Amino acid sequence: MSLESGEVASAATSDDVLLSRITDCLRRSDELSSIFDVATAEVGAFLNTDRIKIYRFQPDGHGQVTSEWLRCDRLPSLLGMNFPADDIPPHARDLFTQARARSVVDVAHQRIGQSIERENGDTVDYEQIRYRPIDPCHAEYLTAMGVQSSLVIPILHHDQLWGLFVSHHAEPKDISESDVQTVQQVVDLLSVAIAQSTLTTQAREQACREATINQISQFLHSFSTIEPQAALEASVSAFGGSGGRLWLHADAFEMKETRTQSPSCYLRLYQTGTQPIVLENAPHALMEQYNVWQAYFKSTQKPVWAIADLYKEPGLRNLQASFRPTKIRGVLMIPLWYRRQLLGYLSVFRDEIDTEILWAGELSIDARQLYPRQSFDVWKETKRGQPSEWTIGEIELAQALGQQFATAIQQYETHQQLQVLNFSLEAQVEQRTAQIKQVTEQQRILFEVVAKIRRSLDFQTIFTTVTQELRQTLNADRVIVYSFDPVSKFNYGEVVAEDVLPEFPSAINQKIQDHCFAEEYASLYQHGRVSALENIHKAKLKQCYVAVLDQFAIKAKIVAPLIKGEALWGLLCIHQCDKPRCWEQTEIQFVTQVAAQLGIGLEQAELLAQTQLQAEQLAQTLQTLKKTQGQLIQTEKMSSLGHLVAGVAHEINNPVNFIAGNLNHVKRYVDDLLALIEIYQTCYSNPGSDILEQIEQIDLEFVIEDLPKTVSSMQIGTERIRQIVLSLRNFSRLDQAEFKAVDIHEGIDSTLLILKHRFKLDGNSCSIELHKEYGDLPLVECYASQLNQVFMNVLSNAIDALEIGVKEGCDRAPMISIHTERLSSDRIAICIKDNGLGIPPNVKAKIFEPFFTTKPIGKGTGMGLSISYEIVVGKHGGVFKCDSDSTEGTEFWIEVPIQQAR
């Protein structure tokens, strides 16, 4: 801006008017350039000088004339020209910054004056101008510029040197203290304007950044879809970049619970614009796979790596070759962190640029400060292929975008994972629900089988019901119950019950001859084998056996043994006839359980057939036993124990044998009487009133139903009495049975089978857990029945102890552990342990004494452990000891030789 001489005269104004005009300009405009133009023009007119310029420092120390006013072109224009940092040495900058020095130069008189800021209480003022000789270089510098008089006042922003307010005059000119003070006030107003402009600029930049972030967020924050490519392109555009990449670490989205990948894990790399060219011999296919990025962010803890010139970064040596074919010079690498997990990288590329700088005179870097500037003619410096620095605002924007990308990607991937997980959980729930329904149906059938067995032992009806329920539940083609001829040694048998689809041949009541089964497979099923074949023609069966199966169009089958006692009574068979079938484990277990319950029912039926006792005689016998035991307690415990026990056993054995011998007769009588009653009711459906009254009085229906059960109870009681008698004989050494080599494990398992019903405690709400650790034992020469009685006594006591523990609130889950091992070449050991409340020390010392018991009257005889001790130690020459602790329970150690001494 310039004014003619006439305009200058008319523009001369007072300092108050000057400040008023500039203040008014500050109010009306927030554009810094407009304010500078007004200020330079007003001050130029006020000082009546030739040039007013505003000189702004750059971050690199150089300066540029950003605003200028000229009068009549008496001095050349310097607007837009750059001056090197060395033109204003560091000590001069320190004076401007720290002392806020104002400088007045009079070249004609070779002097320079300075006015320093000083504090005066709560106010700040300036000293008078003090002159001193000017540095010759400084004077020559101004002379070359055509300046004879100058005024320089620093412009500060946040206590930092922002620039200089300079007045130049081509002729010598006196500058008064008041003029300096007035210009200082103008500069103070400009500092306020700079601060306001800075805040306005920052607000605009912040608004622009937020608008950019919001725009990009629209591409990212959506659960239904996410647009990484569009977000990447918008990000690169926001930085004015030439290209960019979004690389996602696929492993970051691996679902740890299920070990299945996220559905969008294939979204690994997005790119736009110019890209680095990966060389064939490069160690990695992607630039993000190089360790330099992760190493940098771990070591610096910086959110963004702003690289202005990638060729000046030593850590990028391995990557520089990929960028050389391109114009990419700067890289903005943004790690995508989400809660300390690196999801990937967002990178923006910036190409190299060509720069042109207008210098006031030719710049020679190697000759700085050696000679004064001789000319200030415009000198243009052109540089090609220069890096472009990343600004603070761009770095802040990059950091914000990195958080947006990381959060959006993590949320989207988490949403996708949740969808996959929900789908998987729904499928699992459906599958589990179907399994539960299947298991529930199986348990219902099993319960009905058990209930029918308990209510009635009419096995023809039970078999018919079971076959129907099994076929429907398992969706099989045929279910049969096959019974062996007891005298045929498994060569012959008959189908006694069947449920089959109409399109397949029936096998009911067919007598089947199968020598192949008897020779090859009968022994396996007798030991509890359950066979499940998916395809009989691929199962490597004997051809003779396959031929029998083919008669009934069988393609796949499950066969479970029906064990009555210890004998193989028959088979429960599930047939698939239309095609091979893969049987599920739950189906096999279900068939096995049903077969086991049927086997138990068969055994119970046999026991019922053998159990018809006279109730009165049994009760009398039990009373006699109790009286005898009471008398024994009062007599000599130890001296005549053997004789007393033998006598008691003999006395008990006679009536028991009498009872047992008459049971068959009683059963036949009962059956005959019940049959007679049934015939009578059929033939005489309307009896007389006396008979009806008597039927009602004695509750005939209840008697008919309860009498067989009573006979069964009598048989069980008789069998128990026989066991007690046998134990008494063993204790008194009256049993002279021979030693036999037996399998100890079979004896233990048989005992466990007998006691199985007692493993349910506290009204079936709690069960005893059984742990068996059987060692490799040889056959042991022993009295098998006596050792079985030992196992029975020890296990019964263990169950009693656990029952007491549950009732007293013991917090340990009830458990019995059975461990067997071979101690040496001639001895084996059986360890039976419970985790009950243990045995007190005073009780433990007496547990092997005869008739010693802690149980209530009627709950125990006190003979169990004493007889067991006699069997193990006396009869077998072994060891029988007890170890008990209130915190761990009780352990019984049984040790016997493998072979008895001859």
**Residue 478: predicted pLDDT:** 93
Instruction: Calculate Rg over the CA atoms of the chain.
Output: 55
Helical H segments across 456-538, by residue range: 459-474, 515-520, 522-526
**Residue 691: predicted pLDDT:** 86
Determine the Cα–Cα distance for residues 648 and 633; give it in Å rounded to an integer: 13
**Residue 115: predicted pLDDT:** 84
Q: Mapping DSSP to helix (H, G, I), strand (E, B) and coil, where does residue 458 land?
A: coil
Which mean pLDDT values do the consecutive 10-residue runs of the chain (902 residues) have? 43 71 85 89 91 90 90 87 85 85 90 79 66 88 89 91 93 89 90 87 82 81 74 89 87 45 55 89 84 82 87 88 90 88 89 80 53 64 82 87 84 80 86 80 75 71 84 90 88 90 88 84 87 88 87 91 88 92 88 86 74 63 56 40 62 81 80 86 84 86 84 77 62 55 86 80 78 93 84 90 86 92 92 91 84 72 79 90 89 92 72
Contact of 481 with 507, CB cutoff 8 Å: no
Contact of 889 with 834, CB cutoff 8 Å: yes
Helical H segments across 221-363, by residue range: 228-238, 291-300, 317-323
Contact of 890 with 833, CB cutoff 8 Å: yes
Determine the Cα–Cα distance for residues 59 and 679; give it in Å rounded to an integer: 123
Q: To the nearest 10°, the Cα dihedral for 687, 690, 694, 700?
A: 10
**Residue 70: predicted pLDDT:** 92
Determine the Cα–Cα distance for residues 310 and 583; give it in Å rounded to an integer: 66
> Which residues are CB-contacts of 112 (< 8 A; sequence separation ≥ 6)?
103, 104, 105, 106, 131, 132, 133, 134, 135, 138
Residues in the chain: 902
Query: What would the two tokens of residue 595 be?
Result: 């077969």
**Residue 878: predicted pLDDT:** 93
Nearest partner of 595 among 486, 441, 446, 436, judged by Cα: 446
Q: Work out whether strand 740-742 and strand 492-500 pair parallel, antiparallel, or are unpaired.
A: unpaired
**Residue 378: predicted pLDDT:** 65
**Residue 68: predicted pLDDT:** 92
Specify the pTM: 0.43
Question: DSSP states of 837-882 as a string?
Answer: S---HHHHTTTTSTT---SPTTT--S-HHHHHHIIIIIIT--EEEE
Determine the Cα–Cα distance for residues 305 and 287; give it in Å rounded to an integer: 15
**Residue 629: predicted pLDDT:** 55
Question: 809 in the Ramachandran plot: left (φ > 0), alpha (ψ -120 to 50) or beta?
Answer: left
**Residue 11: predicted pLDDT:** 40
- Amino acid identity of 679? I
Query: What would the two tokens of residue 470 be?
Result: 């099994």
- For the chain, the straight-line distance linking the first and the last C-alpha, in angstroms and rounded, comes to 136
Question: 321 in the Ramachandran plot: left (φ > 0), alpha (ψ -120 to 50) or beta?
Answer: alpha
Separate counts of helices (H) and strands (E) for the chain: 23, 35
Nearest partner of 81 among 49, 51, 52, 56, judged by Cα: 56
> Count of alpha carbons within 13 Å of 856, Cβ hemisphere only?
2
Determine the Cα–Cα distance for residues 563 and 707; give it in Å rounded to an integer: 27
Count of other CB atoms within 10 angstroms of residue 226: 21
Max Cα–Cα distance, the chain, nearest Å: 161
